[in-house]
Chains A and B, each alone.
Chain A
Amino acid sequence: MAALTELTIAEARDGLAKKEFSARELAEAHIAAVEAARELNAFVVETPERALADADASDARRARGAAGSLDGIPVAIKDLFCTEGIRTTACSHILDGFVPPYESTVTAKMRAAGAVMLGKTNMDEFAMGSSNETSYWGPVKNPWRRKGDNRTLVPGGSSGGSASAVAARLCLGATGTDTGGSIRQPASFCGIVGVKPTYGRCSRWGIVAFASSLDQAGPMTRTVRDSAIMLGAMAGFDPRDSTSADLPVPDFEAVLGQGVKGMRIGIPKEYRVDGMDAEIAALWDRGAQWLVDAGAEIVEVSLPRTKYALPTYYIIAPAEASSNLARYDGMRYGLRVEGANPTETYENTRGEGFGREVRRRIMIGTYVLSAGYYDAYYKKAQRVRKLIADEFAAAFGRVDAILAPTAPTAAFREGEKSGDLIAMYLNDVLTVPASLAGLPAISVPAGLSGDGLPLGLQLITRPFDEETLFRAADALERAAGFTARPG
C-alpha cells in the first residue's frame, strides 16, 4: 500500500471504510509530514493534539457505523476561517492573539462530516495578495522548483499555505477562500485542483471578511473527485449569512464520469491577454482539443469587457475592504497601540497592525468611497461589473462552460513581482472576471511548463451549476493525466 500521505481523499475514505488503516494512523502520518515540512512555512498554527482527538472520535464513530462524508480525513484550514479555541489572525499583526469563541459555518460543517483538523494555513494578510508574500508570518514556499534551479518560488496567493500543504502531501485537502482568484491561482501554481463555488454556495459566516460581495470559500485538493467530496461537506444554506443561497446541495461526486459528450465549451478570445506565456496558450489549445476528443463542441465566444475586469475589481474589492476592516480599532480584540486619545490609539493601532498592502488597499478604498469620488469610481465600477456579468450571461446562452488558462504565467520567484503593484495584480487577470460575476470556477492541473512547473486550466459555468463544472473538470483531468509531483 502507498504511504498514507499519498492517498487521495476518495482512496483514504475507502481504506478507512475497509479498515485497512485507522483515522488515527492517517492523522499520525500527516502530523509527521507537517512537522517534517516546516521550512515551507505552510502552517501558522499546528494542532496535532486536536487532530489526534478528532481522529480517535472518528474511529469511534466508524465503529458505531456513523461515519460522515469526510470522516477521518486530515485537512488544513486557511487562517481566514474562525476556529473555536484556535488562534485565527488572517495572518495579520492586527489580530494578534485572537482566539475565536465560535466556529465558522464551513469548518463546523466539515467537523460535522468528520474531518480531522491538522492546523491553520498561512495566507496573504487578510487574503490581499497573489504570492503569499504579504503574510505577517512570512512567505510560504512552493514545494515545486524549476528544473535545475534551486531558488524558491511563491505558491501563489492568497491561499498559498493551503496550496503548498496539499501539493506537498501534508494534508489530503485544505480550505481556501477566493475573492479574485485566491483559490484558483495558487492551485495552478502548485499543481493541484481548486474550486471557487458560486457566490452564496458556501456560507461566509465566521470567515474574516475581505470583500463581502466577492468572498467565497472552496476546496483545494489533489483531484477533481476530492474537491467534489469536500465541497459537498462545505456547502449549504446558512441563515446566519444573508447572502447564503437557500438551495439544496447536489451530490457533486455523482456527476463524475458522465463525460462531456454534446457539451458546448466556450473559448473567450479576449482571454489571450498580453503577457501570457506561449506555452500556456498552447496548453489552452491542447485542453480544448482534449474536450473535443471527449465529445464536446468548441465555440468561440466574446467577452469584450474582460480587460476592464481587473480595474473594476481594484475599485470594488478595496472599497469593501476599507469598510470591513474599519472594525479593527484596537478596542475589542487584537492589537492595541496606545495613543494620547482615542483617535491616536486608532491611528497607531491600524498604522502598526496592518501591513503595507493592506494599508494601501484600505486607503484606495477610502478614497474611492469618499465624498465627491463615490460616483466617479465606486458606482462606475459597479456598473461595469454589471456589464461583465451580462456578457457572461449572454455567452452562457450559447455554451455550457468556458475554458481558459487559470493564470497568465507559472509560479514566479519570491520578490520577483513585489516591486511592481500592477504586475502583481495582473496575476488575477483571468480569474477576476468570474469572481465579479459570482460564477463557479475550477482550476485543474493540466501540464508542465518547459522548466517543469505546473500549469492550470480553468473552467467556468453558470451560477449554481457546479455539476457541469465538475463534469467538465473530470474530463479535463482524465485527458491531462497529470501525475507530476513536486520534489
Chain B
Amino acid sequence: MSVDKSTVVRIAKLARIRVPEAELDGLADELNNILGWVEQLNEVDTEGVAPMSSGVEGMALRWRKDDVTDGDRRDDVLANAPDSRDGFFVVPKVIE
C-alpha cells in the first residue's frame, strides 16, 4: 500500500509532530520507501505463530505489590520543567 500526502498529514497529526508543507512530499517518498521494503515480510508464512513480545524467549514480567515505593520528591520532579510556579507545572491554557 502506498502513503500519500494526506496520509502523511494524518500520521504527523497522530504523532503530534509539525511537518512543514514543503517537506510532505519528500517524507511521503521516504515512508513509502521504508514501508515498501518491509512488505517483504508478507512472504513469510506466520500462520499459527504466536507473536513474540518479550525481549528474550520465555521471559515473564514480574508482579510486585501495589505499594508506594517512592515519593515526596516534588522539587526533583519540577526541577527540569520549562515553566513551573508554586510547586506546579505551568502549561498552556487547556480550557477556554
B49: interface (CB < 8 Å): yes
Which residues of B approach A to under 8 Å, CB–CB? 3, 7-8, 11-12, 14-20, 27, 30-31, 33-35, 37-38, 40-44, 46, 49-57, 59, 61-62, 64, 73, 76-77, 79-83, 89, 91-94
Task: Give the residue name and chain of the B residue nearest to A363 (CB).
Answer: B11
Inter-chain contact A345/B92, CB cutoff 8 Å: yes
Contact of B41 among A199, A350, A384 (CB under 8 A): A384
| Stretch from A36-44, A93-101, A405-413, A442-450 at the B interface | A93-101
Interface 1/0 per residue, A326-341 and B, CB below 8 Å: 1001111111101101
Inter-chain contact B17/A421, CB cutoff 8 Å: no
Number of A-B residue pairs with CB-CB distance less than 8 Å in the complex they form: 170
Q: Which residues of B contact A352 (CB under 8 A)?
A: 18
Inter-chain contact B80/A364, CB cutoff 8 Å: no
| Stretch from A10-18, A268-276, A309-317 at the B interface | A309-317
Inter-chain contact B16/A338, CB cutoff 8 Å: no
Q: How many residues of A contact B (CB 8 A)?
A: 73
Inter-chain contact B17/A363, CB cutoff 8 Å: yes
Interface 1/0 per residue, A223-249 and B, CB below 8 Å: 000000000000000010011011000
| Interface SS, A side | helix
Minimum Cβ distance to chain B for residue A255 (Å): 21
Inter-chain contact A342/B91, CB cutoff 8 Å: yes
Inter-chain contact A245/B59, CB cutoff 8 Å: yes
Interface 1/0 per residue, A205-228 and B, CB below 8 Å: 000000011101000000000000
Q: Which residues of B contact A360 (CB under 8 A)?
A: 27, 30-31, 34
Most buried by B among A370, A380, A383: A383
Q: Which residues of A contact B52 (CB under 8 A)?
A: 382-383, 385-386, 389
Inter-chain contact B12/A200, CB cutoff 8 Å: no
Known A-B contacts A366-B11, A384-B46; A331 and B91 likewise in contact (beta carbons under 8 Å)? yes
State the CA gap A348–B19 with chains docked (Å): 9
Inter-chain contact B35/A308, CB cutoff 8 Å: no
Inter-chain contact A438/B57, CB cutoff 8 Å: yes
Q: Which residues of A contact B27 (CB under 8 A)?
A: 360, 363
State the CA gap A439–B58 with chains docked (Å): 12
Inter-chain contact B17/A354, CB cutoff 8 Å: yes
Known A-B contacts A347-B17, A347-B18, A380-B41; A331 and B82 likewise in contact (beta carbons under 8 Å)? yes
Inter-chain contact B38/A315, CB cutoff 8 Å: yes
State the CA gap A274–B38 with chains docked (Å): 17
State the CA gap A99–B79 with chains docked (Å): 8
Inter-chain contact A341/B92, CB cutoff 8 Å: yes
Inter-chain contact B56/A331, CB cutoff 8 Å: no
Inter-chain contact A463/B56, CB cutoff 8 Å: yes
Q: Which residues of A contact B8 (CB under 8 A)?
A: 363
Contact of B64 among A239, A245, A331, A438 (CB under 8 A): A239
Q: Which residues of B contact A99 (CB under 8 A)?
A: 79-80
